[in-house]
């Protein structure tokens, strides 16, 4: 996995990746309507406020909405197929396209399964992935 391509950082996304490097899932939150904003932007897509959303740490927990199991290796470090590509809805509302780790790929994954973020090292930062929440 360490061969995977690091994310491209921009001035707008840098706080997100700085958070990931520190082991925190940070999202923007609108200062007007208070809804969370993802992916990072310079404005609020919910209420249209041009005030820059503020960065906040989040719970890092969510639920599995949907997934596929990719069985074909892909250049860029995804040569360890099979792996899970999933849509996770965070407790705070935004949805992330991500990977689910530490699961048995021979069994179906339960939808709505509670998941918790983890960070896969990638270059100078980490990429958020999720594993089943241990209760």
Q: Return residues touching Zn ion (CB under 5 A).
A: 30, 32-33, 44, 46-47, 49
> Cβ closer to Zn ion: 55 or 78?
55
Kindly tell me which of 34 and 59 has the beta carbon lying closer to Zn ion: 34
Q: Look up tokens 């929440």; give the residue.
A: 133
CB of 44 to Zn ion, least distance (A): 3
**Residue spans of alpha helices (H) in the chain:** 14-21
Per the CB < 8 A criterion, the answer to whether 37 and 90 are in contact is no
Structure-token match 């021979």, residue found: 106
Identify how many contiguous H helices and E strands the chain contains and give both numbers.
1, 8
Least Å distance, CB 93 to Zn ion, is 12
* Radius of gyration (C-alpha) of the chain in whole angstroms: 16
Rounded to a whole number of angstroms, the minimum distance from the CB of residue 53 to Zn ion is: 8
Work out the angle at residue 76's Cα, subtended by the Cα atoms of residues 115 and 60, and round it to the nearest 5 degrees.
20
Q: How far is the CB of 2 from Zn ion (least distance, A)?
A: 38
Residue 133 tokens, joined: 């929440």
Backbone φ, ψ for residue 36 (5° rounding): -80, 150
Least gap, CB of 94 to Zn ion (angstroms): 13
Whichever of 14 and 31 has its CB closer to Zn ion, that residue is: 31
For Zn ion, give the closer residue by CB, 33 or 105.
Answer: 33
Tell me whether residue 31 or residue 81 sits nearer to Zn ion (CB atom).
31
């Amino acid at each position: 996995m360490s061969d995977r391509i690091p994310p491209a950082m921009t001035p707008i996304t840098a706080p997100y990746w700085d958070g990931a490097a520190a082991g925190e899932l940070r999202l923007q939150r609108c200062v007007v309507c208070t809804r969370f904003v993802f992916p990072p932007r310079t404005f609020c897509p919910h209420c249209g406020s041009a005030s820059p959303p503020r960065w906040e740490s989040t719970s890092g927990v969510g639920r599995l909405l949907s997934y596929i199991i990719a069985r074909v290796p892909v250049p860029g470090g995804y040569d360890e197929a099979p792996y899970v590509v999933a849509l996770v809805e965070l407790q705070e509302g935004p949805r992330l396209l991500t990977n689910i780790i530490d699961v048995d790929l021979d069994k179906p994954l339960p939808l709505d399964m509670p998941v918790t973020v983890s960070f896969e090292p990638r270059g100078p930062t980490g990429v958020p992935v999720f594993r089943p929440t241990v209760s």
